[in-house]
A and B are shown apart, each in its own frame.
Chain A
Amino acid sequence: MQVTMTVNDVEVTREIEGRLLLVHFLRDVLSLTGTHWGCDTSNCGTCVVWLDGEPVKSCTVLAAMAGGHEVRTVEGLAKDGQLDPIQEGFMQCHGLQCGFCTPGMMMTCRALLDKNPDPTDAEIREAISGQICRCTGYATIVRSVRWASVHEAAAEVTR
């Protein structure tokens, strides 16, 4: 079957098998390998991307279901070569180690900040509780989100 969707602001059309998962479509067909495949059961969250601005686990979304929708991946976070504050926050606060969960974590955290620019630690932990990180112990991820929140607020004041 043929599927057409917008991925990181670019419209793509491909011939695919109906059963192809979105995660494999992004990785194997579009070579957007920043989105990872970790569990198949929606437990780990390394595959989180946005579907029309909402974080989804792309291992449990058929590529066909994304037809006609807008997908954003980690490759679409930076704008004009500038890192998004959430990316900068993860770097400043050591929010990543092996980097495997990082794209999914950042997509979820960016979506959180878009809805709630000043989340509490508890709200950050709740937001990422559907995702697993084996390296960081989460505290530095919480700090990373807070860093992004504080710096975005400061940038807003300057503007």
Chain B
Amino acid sequence: MTTVHEPKLTTFDDNDQKPVGHGRMLRKEDPRFLRGRGRYTDDVQLPGMLHLAILRSPFAHARILSVDISAAEASPGVKLVVTGAMLAEKGLAWMPTLSNDVQAVLATDKVRFQGQEVAFVVADDRYAARDALELIDVEYDVLDPVVDARRALEPDAPLIRDDLAGKTNNHVFDWETGDEAATAAVFASADVVVTEDIVYPRVHPAPMETCGAVADFDAIDGKLRLWSTTQAPHAHRTLYAIVAGIPEHKIQVIAPDIGGGFGNKVPIYPGYVCAIVGSILTGKPVKWMEDRSENLISTGFARDYLMRGEIAATRDGKILAIRTNVLADHGAFNGTAAPVKYPAGFFGVFTGSYDIEAAYCKMTAVYTNKAPGGVAYACSFRITEAVYLVERIVDCLAYELDMDPAELRLKNFIQPEQFPYETKTGWVYDSGNYEPTMRLAMDIAGYADLRREQAEKRARGELMGIGISFFTEAVGAGPRKDMDILGLGMADGCELRIHPTGKAVVRLSVQTQGQGHETTFAQIVAEEIGIPPADIEVVHGDTDQTPFGLGTYGSRSTPVSGAAAALVARKVRDKAQLIASAMLEVSVADLDWVKGAFQVKGDPSKSVTIQAIAMRAHGAGDLPDGVEGGLEAQICYNPSNLTYPHGAYICVVDIDPGTAQVKVRRFIAVDDCGTRINPMIIEGQVHGGLTDGVGMALMEMIAFDEDGNCLGASLMDYLIPTALEVPDWETGFTVTPSPHHPIGAKGVGESATVGSPPAIVNAVVDALKPFGVRHADMPLTPSRVWDAMRGQATPPI
């Protein structure tokens, strides 16, 4: 395997100088966005369209005694009011979640979290619909809520899911991985054992565009068209077919432009189903668009893991084993999107980037009276939690050993010759070369100088911290023999059609929420088939127009669909070669592919371009025996393994000793995502994820009071980083291609969100070392840092 070192990217070099294939290229999708011509779900206007608004529960846990809709029905402009009881009559009150649980579309018996859907109104406009919500009279019998996951399994805890037959407690699942006995044996004989309780609080992706849908059911031909904010249009279509009983071929799900996803738009929300029901019952198109509070209190949250981390090592810093015990808060319904065999997602990679002897994890997941979700916010199927755990506990070990955290990591890395490397929890890392990535980050940071500066500042009483994290992700789910969601294998289709004039259209099963698929996928195809990206139209996000696949999340578009796009282009090229051999009257073996043309070996004057071949394929002339006309192909790519990007992040913080305010002064991110298709887009993905990390580490938390009231229900209460909280990012990269991906690409969408929180927290804790602080939980707000400085650090929940 080759690892290439590259210096830090400068801003404007390599701009569009490479007309065909990989390289920095401006985005094909930008012109419409720049002119305000993007088309998001809320921009869809259909003739006669009505507007839907949802009444939500003010209580976290309450029995519904009665719902009176008579005044709402009489309100001006109102066309329809629907309650849970009315849905129940049609068998639509409950729907399956992506984790084989069920979730109420509209509550019938009880409400189980604050913000749960209770009734909906359809009216002429959005104001009239909201007016009518105020007139719905719901009588509740308020019950004690379960807000703290630690309380959920106590014998006297209130039972949340009494809708499930035979359910007597709030237990969702137990899960374990690794070898418990072997791990215990290593711990028993280790020189040093460090234990720390580490909380990853509940946070929310909060994409700038909230969730919504426009449903248009045509009663004559029985066809449902649904524009919705979905990251997985094909999977959603199949679920709607199951829930609503509409035949799948009569459902068209369209994901138009999406204003950010981050996993928030993977689940099916009750609002989507309500919009469909509203359209069926009124015979009109119906739009539902939630507001920001609805988005924050009711849609897919992330994290909420209470972790105990333990690490065993020799006195000179060789890590021997890692053990963890997790209590996972899944909210009121298990709405996590995770492959069926992986109820805790890919948390199993908690052994990180280190070559260790043993590992064991035990996890218990519980119901609480909070919104459902769990897998969101660029979490890579719970890898965010796993990486945070291991990178935090390794720093705790460095603290106890009084060892430099960079040195400790370098001493324990899996070595390049050990790949493919099977971890102690059974994951097979495809490729990696960790030390050069770490060294490059340290070089960019000027690590030794930073430590000297820190020592000088400490001597003066100033608080400066340097934090490191080194992550390995598992992305690109996944091999269909191992991974499916509700029985749907996690493979992705791709179709490529070359038109007679040599222009092309490529149809993807994944779609962009800002990642730039229209550019990147055109470049992938261009690199393989030699047609300029400008001549390749990328079609995505419409189930009637694209082949089946599971969608964009878990950094899977490039590892899975990107592979599909490369392979379908090679399939078309193979056919083009047959036609070229007839056109040039030589055997196939006598042809060389030079990007964009087939050339007779040894005679560059004799060649045919892909454009000429395309015309021949559609023309009247002879084709070789057995070759059909046209130039197109379709494939479904089933990855043989996941891909494992890695990266080294270094964060420098300064803390004001008088206010405990943390300032992120510098952040250095060196990513290795294998082959790089468009460096500009990759850099953008990294920058965004780093900003998420600053938010989670320092600002963001969805908190609840003891009654289960959500305290983060607006952007005034749930703080997201602005331009003032983040530094000018410093990035670099190494390239270790994936051996099994056709172009060696590994995916990068979530790397920075996964890798940055531990670097920031490690930096803050490092700054607080003079106070004897070994650990402090996120979010490290001034008040929480202030407490830590006084030896009073407490968990946030």
Query: Which A residues are within 8 Å of any B CB, using their own CB?
Result: 17, 19-20, 24, 27-28, 31-41, 43-44, 46, 73-75, 77-78, 83, 87, 90-94, 96-103, 106, 121, 124-126, 128-143
Contact = CB atoms under 8 A, between A and B. Distances in A.
B260 interface: yes
A151 to B, nearest CB: 12
Interface string B752-783: 00000000000000000000000000000000
A137 B208 contact: no
A87 B688 contact: no
A117 B515 CA distance: 31
A136 B724 contact: no
Contact of B26 (A31, A38, A44, A92): A92
Given A99-B29, A129-B723, 12 more contacts: A27-B42, A33-B39, A39-B291, A40-B291, A77-B36, A91-B31, A94-B680, A132-B722, A134-B208, A135-B514, A137-B684, A139-B726
Contacts of B688: 97, 134-137
Given A91-B26, A132-B208, A138 B723 contact: yes
A68 to B, nearest CB: 23
Given A40-B291, A125-B723, A99 B38 contact: yes
Contact of B208 (A38, A92, A129, A143): A38
B605 interface: no
B27 interface: yes
Contacts of A38: 208-210, 292
A95 to B, nearest CB: 9
B545 interface: no
Contact of B684 (A99, A100, A140): A140
Contacts of B125: 28
Given A100-B260, A138-B723, A94 B714 contact: no
Leading 4 A-B pairs by shortest Cβ distance: A34-B36, A98-B514, A100-B259, A99-B33
Given A35-B36, A87-B34, A98 B42 contact: no
Contact of B514 (A19, A99, A129): A99
Contacts of B724: 125-126, 129
Nearest to A37: B42
A35 to B, nearest CB: 7
B728 A87 contact: no
Contact of B691 (A34, A100, A103, A137): A137
Nearest to B38: A99
B30 A91 contact: yes
Q: Which of A20, A38, A131 has the most CB of B within 10 A?
A: A38
A18 B373 CA distance: 39
Contacts of A40: 291-293, 714
A124 B38 CA distance: 25
B716 A98 contact: no
A143 to B, nearest CB: 6
Contacts of A39: 291-292, 714-715
Interface in B677-729: 680-681, 683-684, 686-692, 714-716, 720, 722-724, 726, 728-729
13 contacts: A33-B39, A40-B292, A41-B715, A44-B292, A83-B34, A91-B34, A98-B514, A100-B209, A124-B723, A137-B686, A137-B726, A139-B729, A143-B11
Nearest to B33: A99
Interface string B132-170: 000000000000000000000000000000000000000
B41 to A, nearest CB: 11
B687 A33 contact: no
A96 B515 CA distance: 10
B516 interface: yes
A130 to B, nearest CB: 8
